[in-house]
Structures are given as C-alpha cells and as structure tokens.
Amino acid sequence: MQQHTYYLGIDIGSTTIKMAVLDEGLKVLQTDYRRHNANPAAVGRDILKSFSAGLGDCRFCVSVTGSVGMGYAERHGVPFEQEVIAAAKVIRTWYPDCHTFIDIGGEDSKMIFFEEGRVPDMRMNGNCAGGTGAFIDQTATLLGVKTEDLNQLAEKSTQLYPIASRCGVFSKTDIQNLLSRNARKEDIAASMLNAVAMQVVSALARGVMPKPKAVFCGGPFAYIPELERHLKRVLNLSDEECIVPRYAQFIPAIGCAMLAKERADGRSYSGKELYNTLFDTSTEIGYTTSLEPLFASKEEYETWVKDKTRRQTVVDSTTPLDLTDHYFLGVDSGSTTTKLVILDSQQRIVFSDYSYNHGDSLRAFTGAVERMQIRCGNIGITGSCATGYGEQLLRTAFSLDYGIVETMAHFRAATKVDPKVSFVLDIGGQDMKAIFADNGSIHRIEINEACSSGCGSFIMTFANQLGYDISDFAAMSCFAKHPYDLGTRCTVFMNSKVKQAMREGALVEDIAAGFAYSVVKNCLYKVLKLQSTDELGSNIVVQGGTMKNHAVVRALEKITGCSVYFTNIPELMGAYGAALYAHAAYNKR
C-alpha cells in the first residue's frame, strides 16, 4: 500500500505550539493548538502521535517557524521559515485582495502591507511585549479570571479607561489604580483590549494607514472576538472590510506547510522519525550558560530547611483560647495583600490570615476579622497596630491604636528572630525593602522605586505565562540540574531571554531556578548596588512572601556566600512586627 505524503507546518512560539497538516491540494486536514508550558518537545510529541493516529501510515514534508522553533530547526536540520514569510504566503494564496495583515501572538505582533507590484512591507514589534497575548494574559491574572473569560467580561462594558499597554509594569499600575477605585472588571477588560488595539496600530503602522481588506490572525483574535471589535474601531474599518480567517491562530503554521510543499527537496519523515529527532526529549543539555545547582539532593534540601528555619510559635487552631488573656492585633495592609496576626500575652501566634485585596483594602481587612472571630470567638483585643500601604486608612476606619512605618515593623520582627540581625531583606510581590543594622540600630534603608524585577511578581508573572502554579514553579527550581543564567533584566526584556533558553533546550526547572538567581541578582546589584557582600554582615534574615520560595533564599546564599535565616511565617512578618509593637506598647504603658 502506497504511503501518502502530507505537508506539515510547525509554529513554536514563546507560549504555544501550533501545527497544521495539508494535503497535495493544500486542503487543511488537521490542526492543533496548545500551550506548551516551556516544554515544546513533550507537547510536540503528543500532537504528532495524534496526527499519525488520524492519518495512518504516512510521511511528512516539514517546515518550522516561530521564535522558539528556530532553535529546534537549527539543532535537527529541519527547514526553518520566518513567521512573516510564512504568513505572507497564506495571505497571497487565500486572500489576494488583502491590503493589511495584522497578527497578534503570545509575545510577537506583526503587520504586513501588500501593494500590487511591490514587495510586502513587513513590520514586527521589538523587545517589548506590550500589545500582545502575554500582555492580555497578565491582565487576566490581575483581574483574577481566566484569559478566555475576558471576552465575556468585555462584552458587558459600558465605559473605557486609559491603560498603558506599552509595558506590563505600567499597565499593572493603571489596572491596580482602577481596581482600588472600584472600577468594574467588565470595563477594565474592555479598556485593556482597547489599549492592545491602539498599541498594535501605533507601534506597527508607523505612519502607514491600514486599509481594507484587512486580515486578522493569531490566538487572541481566535479566542477573544472583542479584541477584533476594538481593533476595527481603532482602524475605522467596517465588518465587511475585515476578515478573521477560520484558521486565524494557524496562519504561520499553514504557511510553513505551503512552503514545505513548494520547496520540497525529497526529504520526508514518518511521525515516529519526527518525534525521535525534532522533538527528542532525551538529548543532553547543550547550553553553556548554566549556574550551580541550588541543591544536590532532596536530603540536602531537607537538612538545609531544618537548619535555617527559625520557627515562631504558632498555637494549633484546635486549641481553645483563654478569654481572660490579653491579645494583640497586627495588620499589614499592602498594595495587593492584607496580612493579619493575633498574638497572646506570651507572643504566640494564635491566628493569622493572608488574603488578596482585589483593589479593596477595607473589605480584605473586614474579611480577615470575620475569619478571626470564627477561630478566636469573643476574645478581647488589648492593643492593635497597623502598617503598610493602607495603614492610615485602617487606623482611621477602625480606630486602631497605633501605626508603624513598614520598615520598622519588619525590623522589629527580624530582631525577634535574631537580636543581632545585621541585614534584613524583605521581598514582596512588587516592592523590596533592605534594612542594614548595627548593634540593634538601623543605619541604612533601601527600597525599590519603579522596577519590580527583584520582586515576587517577577517570578509569578513568568510562572503563570508558562502555565505553572507559583508553588510548583518554586519547588521544581530547587532541584534543577542546570539552572539557566537569565542575567539581570527587567520583566519586559526577560521575555527574549526565556525564549532563548527554550530555543537552546533548557528544561522548565532550569528556567525556574534561573529566575531565583535573577531575582537575587537584580535585588543586590540593580537595586542595592552592592560593592561587596561584606556590607550585609553575618546575621541575615529574609522575609516576605517571595521567601516562601526556598530557591530564592538558597540563591541568595550561593551568590553572597553568607548564611541566611528565615521563619516559618515569612509572608506575615510585617503584621507580626506590628503585633509585637502593640504588645510592647501595652507593656510599656
């Protein structure tokens, strides 16, 4: 029985992998679109198995495209096509009357202008991922919804707000400000899609006015029709003047398949040959930019945790509380989270709470108090103290006894861990505080200003983009064998470094460990601008939710050569310090 030969186009981008199979007449037979979660090889093998099962005994002429696909093609000698060339091939074949082609991908956006008798004018975005799918994903995370739910929200919008789409850092500030003003999520979702549309046009058109017919492609158009509506409005084009193809998310992959047929050189592969070559998962790591592993074994990690943890006493939640005792409330009202701690007269933690604000600090605090009452019953609060971003608001609204500067709250908590502490590093979601001390007195304080690349959201953003829960992302980084050196870059430019790592075959755990190293390097050398680690002294305590990621703590030790200590409640240390202040103020009074 004669084997059929089909034409396979593979598009491996920064976040997704797309494949399309065409027959001799360029009819689309099969397609598949999946997020690869930084593991394109494993996902690619699954798709190929599915294709082979559906098409039977056949062979494929193959061509590859995409920002990550280039590395795969180079390593295995498979033909590679530039994305814009592949996309242009489809447009000229299927839509000969197209003037403007707009493609929005995970971290890339493209615009091609077609004029009769001229070479297509092709434009792509630079290093910034503003106005792309990654920007849309980040907004969904901030709103606490899935990306696919944004369309449903945007459909119900009644008002548009200005949002900076040129950078994820600036847009995050705009969105959080809107949330704090109780703006509707429906309006924020629509405003973000409008910002994406404006960014794509302003960044790519560059003085050339897009004209009909316009063809839109890419995953965001396929799954978020509201984006199409906003782009049409920005371009002032009608429905009849625009086309969203049936295979909008597969255009570059289909173009690759067309070019594979056009440039066929006799080479073809069976499905098995492809996933044993192009998607071989057993190949030894080939990059040279690896760093020292954080831990050699699970046993070393467990010993390290036991040795470095300075445990604070936490009363079991089932233990009845003495209603005659004195209790002290500490609250750390941050820009994104609210932390609450209740201490008894012996400074034991009888209750703690950690919750996200979702733009409403008051509601977050009252929710924590309600949960406290369920656990603690009718205990009397002898003293209370607030710190953090919402300190003044909570003191005024709830008549709390004291307020304390955030750095002082963290320093007080650190001295409880180690009375001789010489350096306190607190890394939260978007801010970082470094406290230098000598003989129990603070002599220098440093905080980050605009850049969040040394903070927890830096890791969380990329964990979410790669499809991982932050706790799983942190756990796998501890045991990476070849941590990838991502350097010290801001969130935006780190995108290109991660794509380079994936092109070179770095595993997810290697990238995760690289982020741990990168956070510490950004903190020490970009924010603190350390000249020598001697400035840190020999008694280092770390705090903040980011320090629940033991890979970050270990990276700090590896880079500085110093021993670093932490508690079993790193994310609560601001509230803990505030509660300690209330306790000390009562005893003094």
pLDDT on residue 450: 47
**What type of residue sits at position 267?**
R
User: Would you list the domain boundaries of the chain?
Assistant: 4-81+253-277, 96-244, 298-310+415-574, 327-410+577-588
Question: Pick from 530, 558, 546: which is nearest to 446 by CA?
Answer: 530
pLDDT on residue 128: 54
pLDDT on residue 57: 82
Encoded tokens for 76: 């295995």
Residues 177, 171: contact at Cβ < 8 Å?
no
* Sequence-separated (6 or more) residues with CB below 8 Å from residue 429: 334, 335, 336, 337, 455, 456, 457, 460, 545, 546
Distance in angstroms (rounded) separating the CA atoms of residues 447 and 449: 6
pLDDT on residue 103: 86
Each of the 589 residues of the chain gets a pLDDT tens digit; together they read 467 889 999 999 877 899 999 999 999 999 999 988 778 888 888 998 889 888 888 888 999 998 888 878 887 788 899 888 898 899 889 998 899 988 887 767 888 888 887 888 888 776 555 567 777 877 787 787 888 888 899 999 999 888 765 555 556 667 777 876 778 889 988 988 888 888 888 877 777 778 888 999 888 888 888 988 998 998 888 989 998 888 888 999 999 999 999 876 668 888 788 877 787 765 555 555 678 999 999 999 999 999 999 999 999 888 889 989 999 999 999 877 899 999 999 999 999 999 988 767 888 999 999 999 999 988 999 999 999 888 998 999 999 999 999 999 999 999 998 999 999 988 876 677 889 998 888 888 887 654 555 565 667 767 776 777 778 888 889 999 989 888 765 555 566 677 777 777 788 888 889 888 888 887 887 777 777 878 888 899 999 888 888 999 999 999 888 889 999 999 999 999 999 999 999 988 7
Q: How many CB atoms lie within 10 A of CB 310?
A: 13
Beta pairing, strands 269-270 & 58-65: antiparallel
Beta partners for residue 332, in sequence order: 339, 387
| Per-residue buried b or exposed e for 506-540, using 16+ beta carbons within 10 Å of the residue's own CB | bbbbbbbbbbbbbbbbbbbeebbeeeeeeebeebb
Provide the 3-class DSSP secondary structure of residue 342: strand
Secondary structure (DSSP) of 78-135? --B--HHHHHHHHHHHH-TT--EEEEE-SS-EEEEE--TTS--EEEE--S--TTSHHH
Domain 96-244 has CATH 3.30.420.40: yes
The side-by-side arrangement of strands in the sheet containing 381-387 is 349-356, 337-344, 327-333, 381-387, 402-403
Pick the CATH number of 298-310+415-574 from 3.40.50.720, 3.50.50.60, 3.30.420.40, 3.10.20.30: 3.30.420.40
420 prior amide bond cis, ω within 30: no
Encoded tokens for 349: 């933690």
Question: Pick from 25, 28, 40, 32: which is nearest to 511 by CA?
Answer: 40
Distance in angstroms (rounded) separating the CA atoms of residues 154 and 193: 8
Q: How many CB atoms lie within 10 A of CB 140?
A: 18
| H or E stretch at 328 | strand 327-333
Residues in the chain: 589
- 């302003």: which residue's tokens? 202
pLDDT on residue 83: 86
Provide the 3-class DSSP secondary structure of residue 463: helix
CATH fold for domain 4-81+253-277? Nucleotidyltransferase; domain 5 (3.30.420)
Distance in angstroms (rounded) separating the CA atoms of residues 125 and 107: 9
Provide the 3-class DSSP secondary structure of residue 400: coil
Encoded tokens for 229: 């509506």
Q: What is the CATH number of domain 327-410+577-588?
A: 3.30.420.40
pLDDT on residue 422: 92
